[in-house]
Amino acid sequence: MTVVSAVILFGFGVLIYAPYVYHYYIVGAFHNFPEPVAKKLRRALYFSQERSLDPKLAIKYYREALAAADEEGMDPFSNEVLGIKFQLASLFEQLQNYQRAIDILEIVRRDCLRWVDEFGDKHWNDGKRTRVLGKTIGISVKLGDLYSNQYIQDTDKAGEKLIWAVETVLREKIRREKEGVKEEMEGRISEARRRYTEASSLAKAIGFEDGYQNSEEGIKRLNGKEDK
């Protein structure tokens, strides 16, 4: 089952797998990568294409691109570095190796959560906390999708990830309303609503009625239509 098809997150936007990541965050932004990273990434992307697909070489060059990014001192939580990891997960999904895709996204999610816990309080005003947390929410929605597909069928983990995503968006919305939304945050609220809708739809589709009801209540709050 693929209800939220190819969801990956950038900011509070929907994190879309290969086509969007490839064209926007990778091809359209090669100038954001140091040349040693870009060189490896070009090769990885070439061997990821259907007409020239070579999984072993693609995986090799993605890993080398990540190693080069580390050597060049790139921020591991930047859109660019996370984008490489998302592309690698996408490749495994393309190859129907869903468990490897899950493993990669679980590691990225864990690292993002650790960063938010340890450093998020220092980045309230520069938008980085919001961006990293947004990615974590999107990864959780994607993991819910992967865990619920016909080859994995782990509904417990799917529900855990989806409900976490829904509740986290709601908590962030309530916190911002209470503390006052910063100007740069306002444009992200509509994206949060969309993320919430996706999470609730997937939760309902795979049978998590309680999670769906909770998310429906959350959507009302996000839209300012909370029952009185």
DSSP three-state, residue 43: helix
DSSP three-state, residue 152: coil
pLDDT, one tens digit for every residue, the chain (228 residues): 332 322 323 333 334 344 444 444 455 567 788 999 999 998 998 899 888 999 999 999 999 999 999 999 999 999 899 999 999 999 999 999 999 999 999 999 999 999 999 998 887 777 888 889 988 988 998 898 899 889 998 988 988 998 888 888 888 878 777 877 554 444 445 555 555 565 556 555 544 444 444 545 555 554 555 544
Report in angstroms the alpha-carbon separations of 24 from 96, 107, 178.
24, 24, 35
Whole-model pTM over 0.85: no
How far apart, in whole angstroms, are the C-alpha atoms of residue 96 and residue 91? 9
How far apart, in whole angstroms, are the C-alpha atoms of residue 155 and residue 203? 10
Output the six-digit token pair for 182: 């910063």
- The domains of the chain are located at 16-74, 98-179, 188-227
Closest CA to 197 of 12, 10, 1, 11: 12
